[in-house]
Each structure stands twice: as C-alpha cells, then as structure tokens.
Amino acid sequence: MFERAKNRFHNVKDAIQSEKDAVDNLKKSIADIQDSMANINKLVDDLQIQVNKLNFKNKPHLDRISEAQEHIQKTLENFPKKKK
C-alpha cells in the first residue's frame, strides 16, 4: 500500500517537474522571440530607409521615362489609324 502511494507521489512529482521545465522552456522561447522582434524591427526600419533612398535616386529617371511614354503616346495618336 505504501509502495503504491510512494510511486504515485514520485509520478506526480516527476510530472510537476516536467511541467515546470516546459514552462521554463516556454518563457525562454518567448524571451528569444521578443529579442528577435527588436532586431526585426531594426531591420525593417533600415530597409525602409534604403527603399526611400532608392526611390529618391530613381525618381528623376522614372520621371523621364514617364515623359517619354507620354511623348510616344501623343506621337502615336497623331498617326492615322488603319482601317480593317
């Protein structure tokens, strides 16, 4: 009778220890994720700065392309359309 109670006690004790270890691992994982989020946020900010720089650098080129497209379109509109 005492042997069964002793075994149950040890089983419960082991189960509690396993749960405690799982909670500790979960807390560590959460802390790791929070640390990673800080790094990810920094990366996103850096990427946004680079995108803004690239957009600023490319804007004159894109404006010229847009002007050329408009000029081509206007020129094409002046040509007579083919009749089918």
What pLDDT score was predicted for residue 82? Answer: 77
What pLDDT score was predicted for residue 84? Answer: 67
Average pLDDT (11-21) is 96
Tokens 């405690």 -> residue: 20
* pLDDT 10s digits, 30-79: 999 999 998 999 999 999 999 999 999 999 999 999 999 999 999 998 88
Q: How far is CA 1 from CA 4, 7, 9, 12, 43, in A?
A: 5, 10, 12, 17, 63
- Residue 23 token pair: 């909670």
